[in-house]
Amino acid sequence: MDYLENGYVYMRYKYVIEGPPLSTYHRDVTSSKTVFKTQHPTYTYLTYNYDGNFLSVCPGSHREWICEFPITLRGRRGGGVLFDCDLVHGGLTGPPERVATQYKIVHYDDIPLLLHLDSVEVCKRGVALPLWQEICMRITSYIFVVPIQWFAGSLLHRQYEGILGFLQRLIPINHYNNYKGD
């Protein structure tokens, strides 16, 4: 919180991912300033229970639609990463006992626009993919991050049935906090 201007608070929001991460490149559209038209940037704070590679991020992508090549952020057990929710990022595989815990930090003035995050407490277990599939998904999601996030973003806010449900099954949305999957 020392890095942010006055008025920022933690939402009552805790999202735990055990095991494999969501390795596709994406923006946090469930809390994005761009999506929810907040006055101030919204932030994700991730903590990790291991030493090593934490997260791939595309520097500057929270300010533009165009993404630079990703860089890898590393850290020590108990460390964390604070980033703008509009920043393009993707999780990195860690040890089998990997646990990442996500929190949302928002400006007090913007809380009314983000009430859907209030009192969210979710724990999900990631699914390991074959290496070739993970690589293909990372490359494809990086190349198509703009159309996936901005044109298909509404598919990430709640679970649908029918044709929209079919489209959701094509996108790995099980990690999104509002998806009522397994």
> pLDDT per residue over 21-33, tens digit each?
878 888 888 888 8
Helical H runs in 27-161? 33-36, 131-143, 145-146
Count other C-beta atoms under 10 Å from residue 107's C-beta: 21
Residue 180: inside a domain: no
Residue 18: inside a domain: yes
One-letter amino acid of 138: R
Residue 130: inside a domain: yes
Residue 30: inside a domain: yes
101's tokens: 């815990």
Residue 177: inside a domain: no
Count other C-beta atoms under 10 Å from residue 46's C-beta: 22
- Residue 167 clears pLDDT 50, i.e. is over it: yes
pLDDT in tens, 123-140: 988 878 888 888 888 888
Instruction: Give the number of domains in the chain.
Output: 1
Domain membership of residue 122 as a residue range: 8-170
Residue 178: inside a domain: no
CA 153 to chain centre: 13
Residue 154: inside a domain: yes
How far is the C-alpha of 175 from the C-alpha of 14, rounded, in Å? 13
How far is the C-alpha of 92 from the C-alpha of 52, rounded, in Å? 10
Residue (of 53, 49, 130) closest to 90 by Cα position: 53
Please provide the size of the chain in residues: 182
pLDDT in tens, 52-97: 999 999 998 887 767 788 999 999 999 999 999 999 999 888 888 8
Helix/strand/coil percentages in the chain, nearest 5:
25, 25, 45
Residue identified by tokens 């860690």 is 94
